[in-house]
Structure 1
Amino acid sequence: MYKTLIIIFIVTTLIDHSLSAQELQAKVTINHNQIQGTDASVFDNLQQSLEHFINEHQWTNLQFARNERIVCNFNITVTKYDKSSNQFTCFALINANRPVYNSSYNTSLYSNKDIDFNFEFSQFDQLNFKDNTVDNQLTALFAYYAYLIIGIDLDSFSPYGGTDVLQQCINLTNNAQSLNYSGWKAFETSKNRFAIINDYMDEGMKPFRKLQYEYYRTGLDEMSINAERGRINITSTIEDNLNKAHKEKPLSLLPQIWTDYKKEELAKIYKGKGTQKEKEQIYNMLLEINASQSKYWDEIEK
Structure 2
Amino acid sequence: MKRIILFFFLSISVILSNQAQDLFFQVKVDASAANTSETRVFTNMENSFSQFINDTKWITEEVELYERMKGLMAINITGIPRTSRYQAQMQVQSVRPIYNSNYESVMINIADRNLNFDFTESQPLIYTQNSFNDNLVSILAFYANFLLGMDFDSFSELGGQQYYEEAFNIARSANQQGFGAGWKPFENLESRYALIQSALNSQLEPVRIALYLYYRKGLDMMEEDPEAARKSIIMALENIQKANKLNPNSPFITLLLQTKAEEIISIFTEGDMNTRRKAYEIMREISPANSERYEVMIK
- Provide TM-score, normalisation by structure 2: 0.89
1:25 is matched with which residue? 24
Matching of residue 77 in structure 1 with residue 76 in structure 2 = yes
1:297 is matched with which residue? 294
What is the CA deviation profile of residues 65-91 of structure 1, one whole-angstrom value per residue up to 9, with x for unaligned ones?
A: 455421010011111123x43111111
- Maintained 8 Å contact 2:213/2:235: no
1:148 is matched with which residue? 146
Counterpart Cα distance in 2 of 1:62 and 1:293: 40
Counterpart Cα distance in 2 of 1:243 and 1:68: 28
Counterpart Cα distance in 2 of 1:191 and 1:243: 21
Tell me how far 1:125 sits from its aligned partner.
Answer: 2.2
Aligned residue pair count: 281
Tell me how far 1:295 sits from its aligned partner.
Answer: 4.1
User: Is the deviation greater in 117-126 or in 190-199?
Assistant: 117-126
1:136 is matched with which residue? 134
Q: How does 1:1-302 map to 2 (within 5 A)?
A: 22-82=21-81, 84-177=82-175, 178-239=177-238, 241-275=239-273, 277-302=274-299
Counterpart Cα distance in 2 of 1:158 and 1:37: 47
Q: Which amino acid aligns with 2:209?
A: K
Larger Rg: 1
Partner secondary structure for residue 115 of structure 1: strand
User: Is the deviation greater in 19-28 or in 73-82?
Assistant: 19-28
Q: Which portions of structure 1, spanning 4 or more consecutive aligned residues, are displaced by more than 6 angstroms?
A: none
Identical-residue share of aligned pairs (%) = 28
RMSD across aligned C-alpha pairs, in angstroms? 1.8
Counterpart Cα distance in 1 of 2:36 and 2:170: 36
Counterpart Cα distance in 2 of 1:281 and 1:105: 25
Distance 1:61 1:43, change over 3 A: same
Tell me how far 1:281 sits from its aligned partner.
Answer: 2.5
Q: Which amino acid aligns with 1:269?
A: I
- Maintained 8 Å contact 2:66/2:97: no
- Maintained 8 Å contact 1:187/1:195: yes
Counterpart Cα distance in 2 of 1:154 and 1:53: 21
Q: Which amino acid aligns with 1:72?
A: G
- Maintained 8 Å contact 1:20/1:65: no
Partner secondary structure for residue 205 of structure 1: helix
What is the CA deviation profile of residues 95-118 of structure 1, one whole-angstrom value per residue up to 9, with x for unaligned ones?
A: 000011111111011211111122
Distance 1:284 1:67, change over 3 A: closer
Tell me how far 1:279 sits from its aligned partner.
Answer: 2.7
- Maintained 8 Å contact 1:137/1:179: no
- Maintained 8 Å contact 1:151/1:166: yes
- Maintained 8 Å contact 1:21/1:64: no
